[in-house]
Chains A and B, each alone.
Chain A
Amino acid sequence: MSADPPELATVDRALGDQAPLPRDNGELVFEEPWQGRALGMGVVVLERTGAPWSEFRRHLAAAISAHPATEGESAAGAYYRCWLDALEALLAQRGLID
């Protein structure tokens, strides 16, 4: 049996104020399905690889400051685009993808 995913509150705490998940009055905002997939992939990858959230958060914060929302891009769209950047960076650094 695979382990249950961590509670959302755990992810919130791990991300802290530095890179909080996009929300609207508490509800997570997924404007398009890929944004939810991106979040899910990140959580599963960290669980599977045992990589600490602090490491992911560093990559995420770096991506957000390096590539802020472009014109016409929503806040959630920009956030999850950076989420993908962070995930790829973490995997590459650990030699899990090229």
Chain B
Amino acid sequence: MSHEHHDHHHPRPASAVELRAQALEALLAERGLVSTDAVDAVVTLYEQDVGPQNGAKVVARAWVDDAYRERLLTNANAAIAELGFGGIEGDNMIVVANTAGVHNMIVCTLCSCYPWPVLGLPPTWYKSSPYRARAVSEPRSVLSEFGVTLDDDVEIRIWDSSAEVRYLVLPMRPSGTEGWTQTELEAIITRDCMIGTALPTARESAAA
């Protein structure tokens, strides 16, 4: 079958493998095994939805379980794998804990390395040149733009991610969350808290 057309958006004729995929989808639709909508739903979901919920589970567990926290800070890969997360590119994870005197922030000054098995896809600003440069040169200003104001005596540590090492920030458990369940805690642990550009607060869960 010749397949010539002159659509500007499709300058090439469909490749053999593309035609094969189309034929298979048509056949499966005919057999009632797939519908276009169902396939669309999967593609849309997977293209967008790799959320930070894995990271939130890791952090919440560390907040309620001191032994787990210890394991997480000494061997993050193993501790994260305990919860069933991890993967190909997330192999060398280091978790850095915020304390009353130290605030941690992650960046990738070279490109956009990111602990995706626990945080999903990086936000656009994380990949932007201004963040990559300014997180290092003026972290306090960057933090204040994110609405985070730290006391002057709090040391800010910047962790530069690479293909070999990915960092994750373990934020401090906020006051007012005593007695909360792990699931309730997970809800206030946002992506930005684990990048270090936000602090979790007890209030957010009331709104959720």
Rounded to whole angstroms, the CA-CA distance of A72 and B120 in the bound complex is 31
Rounded to whole angstroms, the CA-CA distance of A97 and B33 in the bound complex is 11
> A12 interface residue, CB < 8 Å from B?
yes
Residues of B within 8 A of A69 (CB): none
User: Quick check: A97 and B31 within 8 Å, CB to CB?
Assistant: yes
User: Quick check: B87 and A8 within 8 Å, CB to CB?
Assistant: no
User: Quick check: A26 and B42 within 8 Å, CB to CB?
Assistant: no
| B-binding residues in A (CB < 8 A) | 2, 5, 7-9, 11-13, 17, 20, 23, 25-28, 30, 32, 34, 36-41, 43-45, 48-49, 77, 80-81, 84, 87-88, 91, 96-97
User: Which one, B25, B41, B50, B122, contacts A9 given CB within 8 A?
Assistant: B50
> B133 interface residue, CB < 8 Å from A?
no
User: Quick check: A88 and B24 within 8 Å, CB to CB?
Assistant: yes
Residues of B within 8 A of A9 (CB): 50, 54, 85
Rounded to whole angstroms, the CA-CA distance of A43 and B45 in the bound complex is 12
User: Quick check: B33 and A37 within 8 Å, CB to CB?
Assistant: no
Q: Per DSSP, are chain B's interface residues mostly helix, strand or loop, or mixed?
A: helix
Which has the most chain B C-beta neighbours within 10 Å: A43, A96, A97? A43
Rounded to whole angstroms, the CA-CA distance of A34 and B41 in the bound complex is 15
Given A2-B38, A38-B21, A77-B17, are A96 and B33 neighbors across the interface (CB < 8 Å)? yes
User: Quick check: A26 and B18 within 8 Å, CB to CB?
Assistant: no
Residues of B within 8 A of A2 (CB): 38
User: Which one, A48, A80, A88, contacts B34 given CB within 8 A?
Assistant: A48
> B148 interface residue, CB < 8 Å from A?
no
User: Quick check: B50 and A37 within 8 Å, CB to CB?
Assistant: no
User: Quick check: A40 and B39 within 8 Å, CB to CB?
Assistant: yes
User: Quick check: B45 and A34 within 8 Å, CB to CB?
Assistant: no
Rounded to whole angstroms, the CA-CA distance of A31 and B122 in the bound complex is 19
> B22 interface residue, CB < 8 Å from A?
yes
User: Which one, A23, A30, A43, A91, contacts B88 given CB within 8 A?
Assistant: A23
Rounded to whole angstroms, the CA-CA distance of A84 and B19 in the bound complex is 11
> B167 interface residue, CB < 8 Å from A?
no
Interface hit among B71-79, B111-119, B150-158, B168-176: B111-119
Given contacts A13-B84, A26-B89, A26-B116, 18 further A-B contacts (CB under 8 A): A5-B38, A5-B42, A5-B45, A8-B46, A17-B88, A28-B46, A32-B18, A34-B21, A36-B43, A36-B46, A37-B22, A40-B42, A41-B25, A41-B28, A41-B39, A44-B39, A45-B33, A84-B17
